[in-house]
Amino acid sequence: MSRRNYVNDRTKILESYKYNNAKLFWRLLKDTAKVKSPDIPLTSFEVYLKAVNNPDDPFFKPDEDVLYFNERFVRDEFQTMFNE
């Protein structure tokens, strides 16, 4: 019975934090789930984001269909596009 009471108490606390204190809500949720913070240095994120957002990369550039759709979108040709 005490385990059930413990779970009910934690659930009530979690619910109250959800609307009143988001920071404590997520901390309690992570503690309960035993989620650990990753040990990844910020420089790794920087390298990753630069690689993903590299405009010189051929995969970053849109293909002809995307450019054509975008031009028609800018010219407000929605109805024509949907009819086609």
How many domains does one find in the chain?
2
42 and 32, same domain (yes or no): no
Would you put residue 23 in left (φ > 0), alpha (ψ -120 to 50) or beta?
alpha
CB 14 within 8 A of CB 28: yes
- What is the rounded average pLDDT of the residues 15-31? 88
pTM of full prediction above 0.75:
no
pLDDT in tens, 54-75: 878 877 777 888 888 888 888 8
Confidence of residue 3 (pLDDT cuts 50, 70, 90): confident
Distance of CA 62 to the CA centre of its chain: 23
The parent domain of residue 72 ranges over 38-84
